[in-house]
Amino acid sequence: MVAYTYLLLLAAAFVQPNRASALPDAPANIQTDWVDSAFVTCLKKTYPNYPKGVTNPNVVLACRSSHKKRGGIDTDSFDLESRGLPGLAPVPGADCDGGEKGPLPKNFITDTDLSSQATAYCTQMKGDIIQSGLGQINKTFPNAVTKIGNELHGGKKVVLSILLAVTPQGRAVMKGGAVADAALMTGCTQTISELSKLCSAQLKWFNAGKAKTETTTGARGGGLDMTYGATDFAYASVEFTKP
């Protein structure tokens, strides 16, 4: 009975709004400060107010290799025709900020917060993608999570920036009418959803309110190519930056 009472008191001591204690053995995979990825650093050379003001898909494409060493399949080096890739689709393998085991941003959202809105984001970008070859989303999340000491604190902010830049070849394909609007939306949605899955990291933490260990999967930044058959069609980027 004494032990049971002690556990109840211990659990109550940790119950605070927007707060949960991290497990001692939780991986140190959250940035302690805001750090620009190589991709963002590259874009800021042309657009110092990034994520605002990005207007040229060719600038985005020129910074593509800065996300990190190209992962998965490099469309500049591999014969996509021989792979028989169907229609408009994401290329297997994402370029995630920090590599496969890179850290979550200082403030992060869950991967499902990103993937659940993929269709809505693509719908919002659709007109700009068709007209100029560049779609973008800049959204501030007010309910992100951060790590302070050994605890996770909610109610923080983070800016989500999505860029989808169509290559010159891709723009020619769209101009020729080969890619239907529905196919464009499907390919875009699949690409953002794939990024949310591939560029993510799991964090174990102790939920004091429920007195149990939980695992949260957070979204990280990264980029992913899109192809139309053998054509290098577009590049999609997801980044999380300081609000």
Please write the tens of the pLDDT for every residue from 10-57.
333 333 334 444 444 444 488 989 999 999 999 999 999 999 999 999
Picking from 237, 224, 227, the residue whose alpha carbon sits closest to that of residue 70 is 224
pLDDT tens track of the chain, all 243 residues?
Answer: 434 333 333 333 333 334 444 444 444 488 989 999 999 999 999 999 999 999 999 999 999 987 654 433 343 433 444 444 457 889 888 899 988 888 999 999 999 999 999 999 999 999 999 999 999 999 999 999 987 766 678 999 999 999 999 999 999 999 988 888 999 999 999 999 999 999 999 887 777 777 777 788 899 999 999 999 889 999 999 999 999
Percent over 70 (pLDDT), the chain: 79
**Please, what is the average pLDDT of the chain?**
81
Residues 6+ apart with CB under 8 A from 23: 204, 205, 206, 213
pLDDT in tens, 194-217: 999 999 998 877 777 777 777 888
The pTM is what? 0.81
Distances (CA, A) of 85 to 82, 90, 182, 222: 8, 10, 18, 22
Q: How many domains does the chain have?
A: 1
Range of the domain at 150: 2-241
